[in-house]
Amino acid sequence: MIGRPGAWENVKNRQTTGLVKRDSYQILDIEINESIEKTLASGLCDLNEKDIPLHDYKDIPEFLQGNPYVTDGYRVSLPFNLCLKSMFIWTNETMNIWSHLGGFFLFIFFMLYDNIIELPNHQGTVADHLIVTAGLLCYQFCMLCSAGFHMFGCHSERASKRWLAVDLAGILIGVIGCYLPAVHYAFYCLSIWRDVYLFTIAALSALIVFVQFHPQYFSVHWFYQRISVYVGLVAYGVIPATHWYFLNGGWGSEVVQMFIPKVVVMYMLGMLAFTFYITKFPERVFPGTFNFLGHSHQWWHLIIVMAFAFWHSAGRELLYYQTRHECHV
């Protein structure tokens, strides 16, 4: 049920009838009715309390529903400039936006630090620079897509669906960013298997992109199907990891003892994040208590950033191991 018609009805009507104002344009179904320069010039934090009213769960349109245990703090049908400004006020999405914007800047920092300091200190090759940079760019892309979804998802139903697609594409790229350096350095001396696994991961990713064209893919009814696709892609990693374990001589091998515990920790972090995501804990137990701080999606975001950072450092250790040891194959 929609509590307050006003702005929401206006945006909905404009979008369904195509009556977009002539001085506005659209990017990813966001109607830009005020230039970015004008928005920035007006001062991002310069907000009147009435500019962004926050709504209860019972008053928000269906496309914003999904977590009834977060009972308040919803932004509804904001224009572009207020979506942007809303990250500077306390809503139930503020932490979701900033946690992944923070992650984005963290991975930019890692990229600069690795390329300027770490890799030159370890005699990294051009290929090392490229692989490490590609992995971190994937993480950055994932973080930006997610922050964008949480910032602009409240604009309109169409924008929300479009940005959900962007967010999911970001997750796919983020998972590819986990596989790419790990497979490259784990199978450093076994280039045939490296190519087999990189090709398989590319093929699975292409298949996921293809599945996204199904008209039902982004609907609420396909929630579990969407999740299974990503869980499948992540779970696939057990196959190359197990194969790698045996190719390296099992637990007696130094590199196996170094890297396999990190694979286990990474999967445990992934499962922990996923548990928060799927169970909606802790707000399920205390509805309304964690509306602004501490609800499950914020834990999911935080653990994903930690998992990416952890996996990046694990990949770096594997790289240094491979550069210290010559291939004997």
Beta carbon nearer to Zn ion, 52 or 142: 142
Q: Which residue is nearest to Zn ion (CB)?
A: 146
Peptide bond into 282 cis (omega under 30): yes
Cα separation, 201 vs 181, in Å, equals 12
Residues 6 or more apart whose CB falls under 8 angstroms from that of 286 comprise none
129, 316 in Cβ contact below 8 A? no
What beta strand segments (E) does 221-288 contain? none
| Amino acid sitting at position 86 | S
Shortest Å, Cβ 277 to Zn ion: 9
- Among the listed ranges 15-23, 138-146, 242-250, 306-314, the one in contact with Zn ion (CB under 5 A) is 138-146
- For Zn ion, which stretch binds (CB under 5 A), given 21-29, 130-138, 143-151, 320-328? 143-151
Report d(CA 182, CA 132) in Å as an integer.
10
- Nearest approach, Cβ of residue 15 and Zn ion (Å): 23
Q: Which stretch binds Zn ion (CB under 5 A): 32-40, 74-82, 141-149, 201-209?
A: 141-149
Pattern 250-279, Zn ion, x by CB under 5 A: ------------------------------
> Judged by CB, which is closer to Zn ion: 92, or 146?
146
With respect to Zn ion, which residue has the nearer C-beta, 55 or 297? 297
The DSSP call for residue 67 is -
Three-state secondary-structure class, residue 161: helix
Compare residues 201 and 304 and give the one whose CB is closer to Zn ion: 304
Q: Identity (one letter) of the amino acid at 319?
A: L
Nearer to Zn ion, 33 or 146 (CB): 146
- Supply 109's token pair: 């920092």
Size of the site for Zn ion (CB under 5 A): 1
Amino acid identity of 303? Answer: I
Which positions lie near Zn ion, rule CB under 5 A? 146
